[in-house]
Structure 1
Amino acid sequence: MPREVELKLELASGTLDDLLAHSVLKKAKPLADQSGILRATYFDTPELALRQRQLSLRIREKDGHLIQTLKASGEESGPALDRKEWECPVKEGLDLDMLSDTPLADLLADAALRESLLPLFMIETRRRVFSLERDGALIELSLDQAAAIAGQQHLPFTEVELELKRGDTSALFSIALDLQDGMPLRLSTLTKSERGYRLLGADTATSVKAKEIAIQPHMSSEKAFQLAARACLFQVIQNEEILRRTRAPEALHQMRVGTRRLKAAVALFEPLVDDRESKAVRKRLRWIGRKLGHVRDMDVYVHTLRETGPDLDREALNEAERERAKAYEALLKTLEKRRFMRSVLWLAAWIEAGQWHFRRKQRVQEARAIPATDRASTELQRRWKRIRKGARRLPDLDAERRHKLRIRIKELRYGLEFFAATFPAKQAERRRQSMLSNLQDQQDELGEMNDIIMAEKLFPAHGAEKSQATRMKRLETRAEASARKLVKAKPFWNV
């Protein structure tokens, strides 16, 4: 089955001439026969039945020739788009008979749906195509000046597509990192079809939550970590794009969740990724986390003030909202900086082709090969033991130790989510869900307690209101009750 593996980089600022003058393109071989003006018309039903199935159907025109293409998203979400595609030449309109052996076949069996397919938008592209070789890989680089068009709406954009024609995916990232030197290029997961759908108002999401990760029982630790890390970074990239476009607090929250999930994945698989390059990458990940953390703290503080009811301090709320607005402005500027764009691309390159994949030390090779079940059992048990100990001593813990306990709980929760498919037995799944529920309750209560303390640190001049002190007392009682339930939870990884 034909597959399309490509990496997309969006030009954040600057001009097309700047890109054409880049040393990478100067050394590339132009492919004049594949360059030119492309006009692609995308089809779907009025209810967007294809988009709901993560399918895109188009007819592209170039030099008087028409090519019909169906694309289907891959099973794994990641920064490198991995899609199945079916292409065939057509004479004029859609040739639906050519799609009988594709994921669209069951939809096309519905005569009414077949009849309802119609053109919804166009993508017009001025494309310049180049050929590159890197480390034995053959890569096609397309420099696209494009615009999505729907009726009177018009959305221009410039992007670089790196498509793997032969060889290893690592070559895509190697070239992408070279291109990013001196150029404000942002790693993007947006397809051209998705840009068109947005013109139709089809994307109203204010955030993207974590996708399920299917780590199979006998999957190697290397493959399991890559699968988890790839999904976490995908969550970060998608929410970053929404945050820049909408400033939605939920997008910021989910972006931060993505960074924390990635940190948790690194901790769970640490024996694989303890080399120098990995430590440098983790340092960048912590930097991103700090930039997001301050703004998220401001969001939480504003929310906390608004929830105080009759005791609401209007002066404190107004000051907090002003400070939050400043924090958002600073964060949005950070997202436009090359350091941030570089950090995200470097994380993606590390996940896909970092040195940790190739280290020859015997202990590292063995760590990469350990089955997911063994890795999960060892790491989850170690973390569970520390959490139970902390939960038993909860009434005696000060604020700092409570916060550390909450972080451990969060890390274990992410681990339980990563390894959901690793222990498929029904009893194991019941225990996993029960433990997740208990951990979530404890985390929520400790989190609310930490929010109150953080609010006092952010704006100490306002002090803690009486209602907040009462709320803290109530949370302490609930947290201690949750801790007693938590210590009784049964592990699912030894069923």
Structure 2
Amino acid sequence: MVEEERKYEVADDFVLPDLSPVAPAGGAVRTVPPVTLVASYVDTADLRLARAGVSLRHREGDALPWTVKLPTGAQGVRHEISRPGPPGEPPAELAALVTVHARGAALGPVAVVRTVRDAYEVCGRDGAVLAEVVDDRVTVLDAAGRTTDAFRELEVERKAGDRALLDDVGAALEGAGARGGAFVPKHVRALGPRAQEPADLVAPAGLPAVPTAGEVAVEAVRDGVARILANDPLVRLRAPVGDDDSAVHKMRVGCRRLRSALRTFRRLLEREQVRPLRAELTWLGEVLGAARDAEVLRERLRRTASADPTCPVPPEPVDALDAALAARQEAALAAVDTALRSPRYLALVDALVSAAGEPRLRARAARPARKALPKLVAKPWRTLTEQAPALAPDGPDDEWHAVRKAAKQARYAVRAVAPVAGADARKLGRALARVQDLLGEHQDAAVAGRTWVALAAEHPDGHGLAVAAGRLLERERGSVRRARTDFPAAWRRAGRRSRTRWLP
């Protein structure tokens, strides 16, 4: 689940204010009996988890005592995953979720935190808990059980309520003297200054007002690395990510964007660092691609089958096709699991962290970005302009797919330099997004049509698969024709001088 909370520092003599005014009309504030919580945290010797904002703990008395918390990129919002298990060594599944942070280093006990907690639930009219306010008195213990530190803090956790309620509770607490500010987890405070040192993975930080070409390249590399590694635990969990895209898809897109950045900026980056990374990203992208392709086909199957209400495809053959795709997807996801547990992947993670933290730049990377970067985008753009006009309405699918790949490379290149290339580059990026969408729909429809026919041939089980597959194929070829019809206008818009005049 996703945990969203805010923390407040208070003095030992702080008096919690009356919170009943923040409860909605008809609601109430309910006092929860106090509890004592004892949590043992594990980390690497150099506190890689804590420095990355990650925690892995065992808490006595919980039904699911082992919990890992992972950052989401939003302050105070974390993924929380709990599992059963005895104290000592964490469950293998949870240890795997911190792979990109631990990177093979041994996990061991680093802190014991004892918390005496008084809790208060802000409830709605129907009794539902909208927010929980906890008043924690925390004691930090060493290996011998001796107290090494103590502090008091308040937490406000969002339950069924909205963020406005959190704002109201926070205002009441601050009005009574509580201090809000930076979100620092208990174990990080307990571990001291070392736990607040920078994480090994250097995240994108934004560009200076007048960046060099190298600074733009490094920002693009860091963005790609962050996208890949942030989705690693969600892929392992096979968890929804809160929008229409799966974690597998987001991780695969991260691979593509990073490969594109390494290609676009290859003249600025040292070849010895770039070449091995691109090769390994290709491998990882292919592993993720098989799972993503099955996922897309399953989503498309139902949509295509119901596209014409006057001539619906019977549910029996659709269910049979979906079952075959589900088996294919499960096998592909199992291959992803195997890849993410492999030494090869662990080596790639190390290389990604190194590339983000210590990118090796050539001397030419010191040139001003506005002068140097348009030339780097010109090549993928020229490649696209050579291929796109040659597409024939009745040409083979493979030629259209080749242009799709060229459009994707050009779009990624334009996107990478748009922050410094200006409004024209942003306009070109948006136009190329439309081109890429059309070519993507073309490719998805072409692949789907072939897949329906192939699956029907592989599973002649009397469900009328051949007839259904033929009808589905006809609809997919209709999608192909529509994409080809719409493509010329989208391409003309992309190629307008007002969008390309910044390119040499």
Length-normalised TM-score, structure 1:
0.59
The one of 289, 298, 306 aligned to 2:294:
298
- Taking the TM superposition and a 5 Å limit, the aligned residue runs for 1:403-482 are 403-423=401-421, 428-429=422-423, 431-456=424-449, 458=451, 460-462=454-456, 465-482=473-490
- Taking the TM superposition and a 5 Å limit, the aligned residue runs for 1:27-38 are 37-38=112-113
For 2:346, give the aligned amino acid: M
Q: Distance in 2 between matches of 1:61 and 1:111?
A: 27
Q: Distance in 1 between matches of 2:477 and 2:219?
A: 44
Are 1:218 and 2:171 matched, yes or no?
no
In structure 2, the residue matched to 1:208 is none
For 1:279, give the aligned amino acid: R
Q: Distance in 1 between matches of 2:384 and 2:263?
A: 16
In structure 2, the residue matched to 1:393 is 390
Gaps of at least 5 residues in structure 1 are: 17-22, 48-56, 68-89, 95-106, 130-138, 141-160, 174-188, 190-210, 358-363
Q: Distance in 1 between matches of 2:387 and 2:288?
A: 28
Question: Are the counterparts in 1 of residues 212 and 366 from structure 2 also a CA contact under 8 Å?
Answer: yes
For 2:447, give the aligned amino acid: M
Are 1:349 and 2:357 matched, yes or no?
no
The one of 361, 367, 372 aligned to 1:370:
367
Deviations 1:178-205 (A, max 9, x none): xxxxxxxxxxx9xxxxxxxxxxxxxxxx
Q: Distance in 1 between matches of 2:285 and 2:211?
A: 29
In structure 1, the residue matched to 2:174 is 114
Q: Distance in 2 between matches of 1:341 and 1:440?
A: 33
Question: Are the counterparts in 1 of residues 111 and 187 from structure 2 also a CA contact under 8 Å?
Answer: no
Question: CA 1:162–1:278 in 2, change beyond 3 Å: closer, same or farther?
Answer: farther
Q: Distance in 2 between matches of 1:413 and 1:482?
A: 14
Gaps of at least 5 residues in structure 2 are: 1-47, 57-89, 96-103, 123-134, 142-146, 155-166, 307-311, 457-468
Deviation for aligned residue 1:38: 3.5
- Taking the TM superposition and a 5 Å limit, the aligned residue runs for 1:214-253 are 214-216=206-208, 218-248=210-240, 250-253=246-249
In structure 2, the residue matched to 1:133 is none
For 2:502, give the aligned amino acid: W
Question: Are the counterparts in 2 of residues 216 and 372 from structure 1 also a CA contact under 8 Å?
Answer: no
Deviations 1:440-484 (A, max 9, x none): 111111111111222345452436522122222122111233223
Deviation for aligned residue 1:370: 2.2
The one of 139, 145, 164 aligned to 1:61:
139
Question: Are the counterparts in 2 of residues 37 and 62 from structure 1 also a CA contact under 8 Å?
Answer: yes
Q: Distance in 1 between matches of 2:447 and 2:93?
A: 40
Question: Are the counterparts in 1 of residues 380 and 413 from structure 2 also a CA contact under 8 Å?
Answer: no
Question: CA 1:45–1:408 in 2, change beyond 3 Å: closer, same or farther?
Answer: farther
Q: Distance in 1 between matches of 2:227 and 2:325?
A: 28
What SS is found at the alignment partner of 2:331? helix
- Taking the TM superposition and a 5 Å limit, the aligned residue runs for 1:12-411 are 13=92, 37-39=112-114, 61-62=139-140, 64=147, 66=149, 111-112=171-172, 114-115=174-175, 163=197, 214-216=206-208, 218-248=210-240, 250-308=246-304, 309=306, 310-311=312-313, 313-314=317-318, 315-353=320-358, 356-357=360-361, 364-365=362-363, 367-395=364-392, 398-411=396-409
For 2:295, give the aligned amino acid: D
What SS is found at the alignment partner of 1:438? helix
Structure 1 outlier segments of 4+, above 6 Å: 8-12, 40-47, 116-122, 124-129
Question: Are the counterparts in 2 of residues 40 and 123 from structure 1 also a CA contact under 8 Å?
Answer: no
Question: Are the counterparts in 2 of residues 216 and 421 from structure 1 also a CA contact under 8 Å?
Answer: no
Q: Distance in 2 between matches of 1:336 and 1:458?
A: 30
Larger radius of gyration: 2
For 1:493, give the aligned amino acid: W
What SS is found at the alignment partner of 2:418? coil
Q: Distance in 2 between matches of 1:320 and 1:14?
A: 27
Question: Are the counterparts in 2 of residues 43 and 118 from structure 1 also a CA contact under 8 Å?
Answer: no
Q: Distance in 1 between matches of 2:137 and 2:184?
A: 11
Aligned residues: 353
Question: CA 1:113–1:323 in 2, change beyond 3 Å: closer, same or farther?
Answer: same
Q: Distance in 1 between matches of 2:117 and 2:374?
A: 48
Deviations 1:301-333 (A, max 9, x none): 112211111236412222112221222232223
Question: CA 1:412–1:260 in 2, change beyond 3 Å: closer, same or farther?
Answer: same
Q: Distance in 2 between matches of 1:268 and 1:323?
A: 34
Question: Are the counterparts in 1 of residues 136 and 153 from structure 2 also a CA contact under 8 Å?
Answer: no
Question: CA 1:12–1:369 in 2, change beyond 3 Å: closer, same or farther?
Answer: farther
Deviation for aligned residue 1:118: 11
In structure 2, the residue matched to 1:486 is 494
Question: Are the counterparts in 1 of residues 377 and 413 from structure 2 also a CA contact under 8 Å?
Answer: yes
Question: Are the counterparts in 1 of residues 297 and 325 from structure 2 also a CA contact under 8 Å?
Answer: yes
Question: Are the counterparts in 2 of residues 435 and 486 from structure 1 also a CA contact under 8 Å?
Answer: yes
Q: Distance in 1 between matches of 2:189 and 2:93?
A: 17
Deviates more, 1:435-444 or 1:460-469: 460-469
Q: Distance in 1 between matches of 2:409 and 2:442?
A: 18
Q: Distance in 2 between matches of 1:262 and 1:417?
A: 12
For 1:470, give the aligned amino acid: G
Deviates more, 1:223-232 or 1:453-462: 453-462
Deviation for aligned residue 1:415: 2.7
Q: Distance in 1 between matches of 2:258 and 2:280?
A: 12
Aligned-residue identity in percent: 19
Deviation for aligned residue 1:254: 1.1
Question: Are the counterparts in 2 of residues 214 and 422 from structure 1 also a CA contact under 8 Å?
Answer: no
What SS is found at the alignment partner of 1:37? strand
Deviation for aligned residue 1:241: 1.6
Question: Are the counterparts in 2 of residues 391 and 487 from structure 1 also a CA contact under 8 Å?
Answer: no
Question: CA 1:371–1:417 in 2, change beyond 3 Å: closer, same or farther?
Answer: same
Question: Are the counterparts in 1 of residues 262 and 274 from structure 2 also a CA contact under 8 Å?
Answer: no
What RMSD in Å do the two structures reach over aligned CA positions? 4.7
Question: Are the counterparts in 2 of residues 291 and 331 from structure 1 also a CA contact under 8 Å?
Answer: yes
Question: CA 1:456–1:125 in 2, change beyond 3 Å: closer, same or farther?
Answer: same
Question: CA 1:410–1:251 in 2, change beyond 3 Å: closer, same or farther?
Answer: same
Question: Are the counterparts in 2 of residues 229 and 265 from structure 1 also a CA contact under 8 Å?
Answer: yes
